Amino acid sequence: MNPKLFQPFSLGELALRNRIVIAPMCQYSAREGSASDWHVMHVGSMATSGAALVILEATAVEPEGRISPDDLGLWSDANEAALGRVLSAVRAWSDTPIGIQLAHAGRKASTYAPWRGRSQVPAAEGGWQTVAPSALAFNEADRPPVALDAAGLARVRERFAEAARRAGRLGLDLVELHAAHGYLMHQFLSPLSNRRDDAYGGSLENRMRFPLEVFEAVREAFPARRPVGVRVSATDWVAGGWDLEQTIAFARALEARGASFIHVSGGGLSPQQQVPSGPNYQVPYAREIKKATKLPTIAVGLITEPEQAEAVVGTGDADLVGIARAFLYDPHWPWHAAAQLGASVKAPRQYLRAQPERFPELLKG
């Protein structure tokens, strides 16, 4: 057997051992944006899992861009030093490439961590004023965001660039710009959240303008030989909203500007979304974007079983699979996938004694 899932792949000059990507997962365990000891444990676990690439959780480029007060950030020297400590500890024991997702939550910022209910944090409890393309709240009960003016747009754009420079100094292997799940870049793209009447609203070209400017700023700020890609929501799942046709136009514009990959998700912009959830439910969007561009694609969408992942890459629906929650349940998911599909996976030398007798070629140091 020679499963495609365990064949190497390259994103530009970044060589990957297999096609398994650990997608970003918020941990809500930072302090003022700075990574904690939890991140040493979590990232270390993911980086020794056998996956080809770990993309760190949505990382805010400014304090106001955090989803919650507990989000990871990369806007200050303290944030950079704390994340550097985590990366140093992990890299001492793993050579798995590590990327980072740079993000701004826009109108979906200033909310509690999931285990506290996800509602908006009141100002009296440390909540902050959110910003967005237009003064339209995500939920009716939320405080409305402030529409970004020219100075605000320039500030956010530069904050993304500065975070990318910090990521470069930290030696991170890849940057992913978060333009999905209803956060700020997605808010600019969708006509449901962007009601501006200036050069950044109205037509598709105008709605794409600010996310493309941010991408260009990040691409310029991050080392040229390291990949920069984008996470997108291919649809809002709301009538009259962002959809696949517009996503393909955006992907082509990103490709023309030097994007290295596109990570294809969906939804998150509106509480009115109607999501047809099920195994592989977002893979068709990755397939259509792959057909329409030459960009390497990462597919997601309740991909939990090895045969599912193999089918996605084996049929050419996508080049890579992004797996998230399944890794929280099973941090050695690639080991078990390799055993099931007849492949092998790199493991820490300290774990080689775990090799099952019935799979003598499973683990390699």
Q: Give me the count of residues in the chain.
A: 365
- CA-CA distance, 173 to 225, in Å (whole number)? 9
pLDDT digits (tens, 9 = 90+) for 16-25: 999 999 999 9
- Which CATH number do you get for residue 305? 3.20.20.70
Tokens describing residue 185: 């870049």
Residue 93 has pLDDT above 80, yes or no: yes
Mean pLDDT across the chain: 97
Q: Are the C-beta atoms of residues 193 and 269 closer than 8 Å to each other? A: yes
Instruction: Using pLDDT thresholds of 50, 70 and 90, give the confidence band for residue 208.
Output: very high
Give the model's pLDDT for residue 118.
86
- CA-CA distance, 174 to 262, in Å (whole number)? 12
pLDDT digits (tens, 9 = 90+) for 126-138: 999 999 999 999 9
- CA-CA distance, 350 to 365, in Å (whole number)? 9
Give the model's pLDDT for residue 79.
98
Residue numbers of the domain that contains 262: 4-364
Please give the tally of structural domains in the chain.
Answer: 1
Alpha helices in the chain, H assignment, sequence order: 37-47, 77-91, 150-169, 184-189, 204-221, 244-256, 283-292, 306-314, 325-329, 333-341
- Confidence (pTM): 0.97
User: Which amino acid makes up residue 356?
Assistant: P
Mean pLDDT of 283-287: 98
Residues carrying an active site annotation:
183
